[in-house]
């Protein structure tokens, strides 16, 4: 009777907090969580309840202190230093599939995490049993726990066999392992609740009434070959909230553990599947995962990782290299990997992993992270987005040479055609001498025609015809005939005329040029003579001399005048001298 009363009191004490809560509020098992923290994980300094044997707890904690020291020196310290320069900043949401009992590694790998999700086949466990254990039961339960947790604190992961052993008994495995990992990193619990997932993946917190209603139903194994639990289904999934020990102002970290089978048939479109997708982008990790992510039967959870993770740490049980590359990730290896630790691992991906490690330089790894390889080598790989690294060198290098090559030829090509266009004005330059023809209106010179035009032209006999001033007009067409060809060769005529004519004759040729302009004043008389030379300017002077010879013939009454100017005949030979100049014109 007395023992029954003690048991009832203990049970009431352990569930006092949730029982006192409102019916629609989540049941909080903080008192039980702190008992695990003090008795199992040896954290804090809370006084032990009256029913807990202090000597048993002290002996247990002495052993745990040694293990914590090894865990800190060999794993926590080197792993924190290793990940610090590799890990992106502000990775606050973490998903750890196949991460049963390993909250400690998640905290080591992601110290900035504020929400951590672990998933495994094991259930969280009943937190109320610890307070019910007598001295003998407590001693046996703590011994079993130390045996099972040896791998957690010595090898930094837990085997499935050890976790299966703690699916029954007074100290459930997942709850105790997670609280131990939290304690080893210097945290303390502030809340412990149990949850389920709604069909859409939303978290539902169990109330005290719901937990009581589920008490008769035992949690069943979620996979064949595992073990059924001996505690209520209500304690399958938990939410543990904690913060730095002794610092009420420290940020809260929420850790949820879900008991679930991640094979496609159980996971696809399940509430857990939707819950993970709803998280958006997150950091990921896995290790000692039995190489399940290599198998097509686990492609759904693998696809969730590939589509939502931004960075992942793992051993070789992580994402296969071929699938990582297709999803846009690059993998950086550390340590050595010569083959899978488990002989039954899928062969093709095992060979791909060996090639991956062989293709990269050896990078030292100062701690074990998950399984060793077939030769007991420690190894680790980082899976991260591959886009930034290849994109930076690939874009600038080809872009720089490609741009200048088309740009350089494009500029000179338009420049070259532009130059010949200005060459056209050069053609206009010969047109400029035409204006001098128009400029010939050195019309003031017409006053000089009677003075010098006659000697300038072989028809100088016109001077004796002083009585016939109108005749000089017809005589003038001849000089223009000769002067016109001389004008395009203005530089040449003076050179030839200078030897033909003495100094006074040289000025004369320029002067006859103006009389050529007065000739337009008498267009009627010159039209018959001018059209022929106008069309072929160079040929017009050739016929002009014969015309000039008949021209003196009409004035027959003045034949004596013609012999008188034999003296000007010297200028006539000058005409043949001019004629050779004329062939130069064409």
Give the domain extent around 78. 2-45+56-260
Counting every residue written for the chain, the total comes to 586
Choose among 75, 110, 86, 83: nearest CA to 96.
Answer: 110
Instruction: Compute φ and ψ for 255, nearest 5 degrees.
Output: -120, 125
- Lookup result for tokens 């090639």: 355
The pLDDT, as a whole number, for residue 218 is: 82
Q: Is residue 15 part of a domain?
A: yes
Instruction: Compute φ and ψ for 332, nearest 5 degrees.
Output: -110, 130
Q: Is residue 194 part of a domain?
A: yes
**Residues 150-177: b if buried by 16+ CB within 10 A, e if exposed:** ebbbeebbbbbebbbbbbebbbbbbbbb
Name the β-bridge partners of 118. Answer: 96, 257
Q: What is the pLDDT along the chain (586 residues), one digit of tens a residue?
A: 333 333 333 433 444 444 444 668 999 999 999 999 999 999 999 999 988 999 999 999 999 999 999 999 999 999 999 999 999 999 999 999 999 899 999 999 999 999 999 999 999 999 999 999 999 999 999 999 998 888 777 765 555 565 556 666 788 888 999 999 999 999 999 999 999 999 999 999 999 999 999 998 887 766 666 567 777 899 999 999 999 999 999 999 999 999 999 999 999 999 999 999 999 999 999 999 999 999 999 999 999 999 999 999 999 999 999 999 999 999 999 999 999 999 999 999 999 999 999 999 999 999 999 999 999 999 999 999 997 554 455 555 655 555 555 545 445 454 454 454 444 444 444 444 444 444 444 444 444 444 444 444 444 444 444 444 444 444 444 444 444 444 444 444 444 444 444 444 444 444 444 444 444 444 434 344 444 444 444 444 444 444 444 444 444 544 444 445 445 444 444 444 444 444 444 3
List strand residue ranges (DSSP E) for 443-534, in order.
Answer: none
The pLDDT, as a whole number, for residue 253 is: 98
- Quickly count: other Cβ atoms within 10 Å of residue 67's Cβ: 18
Q: Is residue 105 part of a domain?
A: yes
Q: Is residue 360 part of a domain?
A: no
Q: Is residue 87 part of a domain?
A: yes
Choose among 155, 195, 150, 196: nearest CA to 177.
Answer: 150
How many structural domains does the chain have?
1
Choose among 236, 85, 76: nearest CA to 152.
Answer: 76
Q: How many angstroms separate the CA atoms of 382 and 220, rounded?
A: 36
The pLDDT, as a whole number, for residue 487 is: 47
Q: Is residue 425 part of a domain?
A: no
Q: Which residues contact 172 (CB under 8 A, 6 or more apart)?
A: 123, 124, 125, 126, 127, 129, 166, 231, 235
pTM over 0.75: no
The pLDDT, as a whole number, for residue 152 is: 72
Q: Is residue 359 part of a domain?
A: no
Name the β-bridge partners of 241. Answer: 191, 254
The pLDDT, as a whole number, for residue 582 is: 46
Chain-centroid distance of CA 392 in Å reads 6
Which strands, in side-by-side order, build the sheet including 309-314?
203-205, 187-197, 238-244, 253-259, 115-120, 93-97, 282-286, 309-314, 379-385, 329-335
DSSP codes of every residue in 419-454: THHHHHHHHHHHHTTHHHHHH---TTGGGSIIIIIH
Q: Do 344 and 355 form a contact (C-beta atoms < 8 A)?
A: no
Q: Is residue 286 part of a domain?
A: no
Joined together, the tokens standing for residue 211 give 């937990």
């Amino acid at each position: 009777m007395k023992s029954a009363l003690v048991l009832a009191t203990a049970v009431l004490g352990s569930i006092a907090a949730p029982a006192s809560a409102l019916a629609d509020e989540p049941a909080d098992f903080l008192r039980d969580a702190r008992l695990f923290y003090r008795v199992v994980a040896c954290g804090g300094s809370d006084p032990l309840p009256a029913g807990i044997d202090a000597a048993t707890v002290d002996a247990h904690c002495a052993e745990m202190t040694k293990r914590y020291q090894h865990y800190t020196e060999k794993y926590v310290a080197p792993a924190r230093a290793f990940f610090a320069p590799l890990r992106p900043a502000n990775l606050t949401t973490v998903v750890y599939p196949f991460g049963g009992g390993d909250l400690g590694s998640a905290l080591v790998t992601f110290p900035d995490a504020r929400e951590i999700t672990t998933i495994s086949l094991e259930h969280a466990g009943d937190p109320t049993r610890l307070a019910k254990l007598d001295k003998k039961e407590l001693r046996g339960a703590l011994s079993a726990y130390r045996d099972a947790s040896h791998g957690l604190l010595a090898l930094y992961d837990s085997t499935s066999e050890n976790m299966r052993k703690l699916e029954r008994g007074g100290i459930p495995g997942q709850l105790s392992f997670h609280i131990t990992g939290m304690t080893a990193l210097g945290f303390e619990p502030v809340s412990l609740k149990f949850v389920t997932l709604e069909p859409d993946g939303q978290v539902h917190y169990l109330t005290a009434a719901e937990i009581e209603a589920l008490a008769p139903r035992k949690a069943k194994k979620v996979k064949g070959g595992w073990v059924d639990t001996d505690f209520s289904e209500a304690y399958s999934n938990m939410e543990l909230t904690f913060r730095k020990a002794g610092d009420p102002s420290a940020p809260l970290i929420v850790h949820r553990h879900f008991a679930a089978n991640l094979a496609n048939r159980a996971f696809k479109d399940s509430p857990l599947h939707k819950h993970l997708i709803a998280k958006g982008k997150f950091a990921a990790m896995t290790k000692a995962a039995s190489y399940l992510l290599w198998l097509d039967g686990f492609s759904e959870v693998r696809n969730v990782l590939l589509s939502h993770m931004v960075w992942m740490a793992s051993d070789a049980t992580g994402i296969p290299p071929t699938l990582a590359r297709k999803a846009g990730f690059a993998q950086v290896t550390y340590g050595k990997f010569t083959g899978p630790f488990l002989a039954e691992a899928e062969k093709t991906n095992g060979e791909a992993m060996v090639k991956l490690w062989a293709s990269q330089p050896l990078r030292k790894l100062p701690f074990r992270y998950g399984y060793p390889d077939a030769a007991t080598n420690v190894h680790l790989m980082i899976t991260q987005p591959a886009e930034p690294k290849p994109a930076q060198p690939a874009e600038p290098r080809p872009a720089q040479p490609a741009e200048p090559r088309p740009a350089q030829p494009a500029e000179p090509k338009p420049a070259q055609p532009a130059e010949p266009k200005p060459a056209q004005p050069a053609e206009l330059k010969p047109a400029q001498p035409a204006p001098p023809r128009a400029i010939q209106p050195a019309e003031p010179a017409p006053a000089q025609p009677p003075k010098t035009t006659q000697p300038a032209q072989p028809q100088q006999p016109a001077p004796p015809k002083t009585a016939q001033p109108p005749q000089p007009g017809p005589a003038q067409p001849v000089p223009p005939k000769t002067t016109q060809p001389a004008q395009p060769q203005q530089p040449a005529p003076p050179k030839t005329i200078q030897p033909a004519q003495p100094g006074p004759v040289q000025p004369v040729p320029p002067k006859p040029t103006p009389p050529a302009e007065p000739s337009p004043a008498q267009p009627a008389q010159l039209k018959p003579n001018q059209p022929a030379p106008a069309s072929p300017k160079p040929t017009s002077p050739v016929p002009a001399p014969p015309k000039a010879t008949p021209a003196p013939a009409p004035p027959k009454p003045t034949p004596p005048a013609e012999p008188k100017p034999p003296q000007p005949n010297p200028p006539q030979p000058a005409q043949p001298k001019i004629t050779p100049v004329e062939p130069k014109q064409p």
